[in-house]
Structure 1
Amino acid sequence: MVSHKDVIASNRDAWNASADHHRRSAEWARLTDAVADKGFSCLDSTLTEQLNQVGLTGKAVIQLGCNNGREALSLFALGALEVMGVDQSSEFLKQAHELAERSHYSPEFVEADIHELPATLNERFDVALITIGVVNWMPDLGLFFSHVARTLKPGGKLVIYETHPFLEMLDPEASDPWRISTSYFQAEPLVESVAIVYEGKGEANGQQSYWHVHRLSDQLMGVVGAGLRLCAFNEYAHSNREDLYDVYTQGEAQIPMCYALVAEKL
């Protein structure tokens, strides 16, 4: 059985190995131009509305799992005074620094395993943000959320905008995309050895990555167990994943595809 530390290290190496693929994409070229706009934001309307309700004006915000920094940079357009992005991938953080240099803002980026955040981040932030795809890379939700909670000042808010775990049961590329293909209660992570991409299929690269299918109940209890009080929770029928998941937004049948959660540190 692979240890949690080995899983985290493998995921870090897999993301680092995938960074060049993302940098060679058309999306990267678009981003390098777009971030020069003072009002730049790549956040969709659902997350923008949620963050506006929480209120970022004049506040210190930390994003856990910031990838190339595009979402961290977007927080300034919503009024954030100070922004920090944390990620364990040094290669994606290089991209984050490059985007920041092209923007009007100066976020801080920290390379760290979110399960072992430096004590200097404790009770420093008014808002902590987690967006799509972060939770599933975490092998230990209890440990993960305990460190997330430590970054918040008393009264600070955690905002999560994530894929709904219901989607993990479906395969949008199957001949019948509506057929249940995976157990909701799958305990073992999905292991792959291909480049991590947002669209299409990644090329085999020999770097193992571990994707954990966490039930919604585990995610909610992880938040509560970290000493956070649930303030708001909403499920949505729209997708915040790759375009191929749009197949589930067509037709009369609607399924939960993503959710937004707000919790407060007691």
Structure 2
Amino acid sequence: MTRPVPSPPPEHHHQGAAPALDALPQEVVAVSTDALAAGFHEVDATSTVQANRQWWDIEAESYYQEHGEFLGDAELVWGPEGWTERELGLLGELQDTLSLEVGAGAAQGSRYVRSQGARAIASDISGGMLGKSRQIDADLGQPPLPLVLADGCALPFADETFDLVFSAYGAVPFVADSALLMRECARVLRPGGRFVFSTTHPIRWAFPDSPGPDGLTATMSYFNRTPYVETADGELVYAEHHRTLGDRVREIIAAGLRLVDLVEPEWPERTTSSWGGWSPLRGQSIPGTAIFVCTRE
């Protein structure tokens, strides 16, 4: 999940034919957290893709070790509040649908929809994260999910292929052109299909990423769309892009989608743990997650 604030040293952060997973590089070079610097400046789409692919390749194992128990191996958790698809039912009927998870990470969400009768395909920009998915399937003794190494802004699928496209804190904030991502997701949806995605609630951009009282005071403009970046020895290693709530709605409509619901889940009493800047204290006052439920006309 995401961390839109500079705080030295920053905490680690949660996509033609696609390359076969077996052909992916097996080693990545770790970035020393001692060398990281954080701030805000413009970065282009290509640099964003390269940095975030490497970041998630490096972070795949540690991210799973830190958050795997919370996420579950075969659940679709919509955000740090802990609400699941099993509880919210935002995807609609899953039996016999063909689904695509974009920014799937270790594909926990795809494993869940498969358990509900869907035919699931999981895609992510990171081979490291997809490799973790293969390991989870093996550990569970389940058939391996179909996995596709792909940028969410260039999905390697034909038009009108899927009944459902979804993403839980994946891809949307990690691409420079989220309007293009919306168009791609709409393109691969069949008419009447559903696109559901969750991401950091846009209002959080204005607040420090702190779980305590200092995270309740806005310190920057909500309307500042300059990307949050992390660099190591001057090289970009992580980038996150902000859009306002209005931006998101306009992107959805421009892609030919209809917004049918916008869910701002409240923090439940049962979730007593914090996840980076998401915490029970902050959850009592401001939303942390926005879930957009869309259909293709």
Q: Give yes or no for TM over 0.5.
A: yes
Once the two structures are overlaid, the 10-residue window that deviates more, 204-213 or 51-60, is 204-213
Q: Residues 76 and 84 of structure 2 are in contact (CA less than 8 Å); yes or no, is this contact kept in structure 1?
A: no
Per-residue deviation, residues 158-187 of structure 1 (Å, max 9, x unmatched)? 112222111121222566221112211112
Match of 1:148 in 2: 185
Q: Residues 83 and 108 of structure 1 are in contact (CA less than 8 Å); yes or no, is this contact kept in structure 2?
A: yes
TM-score normalised according to structure 2 size? 0.73
Match of 2:290 in 1: 259
- Shift of the 53–4 alpha-carbon distance from structure 1 to 2, 3 Å rule, reads closer
Q: Which has the higher helix share?
A: 1
Offset of 1:235 from its aligned partner?
2.0
- Shift of the 133–113 alpha-carbon distance from structure 1 to 2, 3 Å rule, reads closer
* 1:179 aligned onto 2:208: no
SS at match of 2:216: coil
Give the whole-Å Cα distance in 1 for the aligned partners of 2:211 and 2:283.
15
Identity, % of aligned positions: 22
**Match runs of 1:1-266 below 5 Å:** 2-22=43-63, 25=65, 27-28=67-68, 35=73, 40-43=74-77, 44-51=82-89, 54-77=92-115, 79-103=116-140, 104-120=142-158, 122-171=159-208, 172-173=210-211, 176-193=214-231, 208-238=237-267, 242=275, 244-246=277-279, 247-250=281-284, 254-266=285-297
Match of 2:28 in 1: none
Report the residue type matching 1:222 in the other structure: E
Give the whole-Å Cα distance in 2 for the aligned partners of 1:110 and 1:161.
21
- Shift of the 126–42 alpha-carbon distance from structure 1 to 2, 3 Å rule, reads closer
TM-score normalised according to structure 1 size? 0.81
Q: Residues 47 and 236 of structure 2 are in contact (CA less than 8 Å); yes or no, is this contact kept in structure 1?
A: no
Give the whole-Å Cα distance in 2 for the aligned partners of 1:52 and 1:139.
26
- Shift of the 26–10 alpha-carbon distance from structure 1 to 2, 3 Å rule, reads closer
- Shift of the 51–193 alpha-carbon distance from structure 1 to 2, 3 Å rule, reads farther
Q: Report the count of equivalent residues.
A: 245
Q: Residues 133 and 163 of structure 1 are in contact (CA less than 8 Å); yes or no, is this contact kept in structure 2?
A: no
Q: Unmatched 5+ residue regions in structure 2? A: 1-41
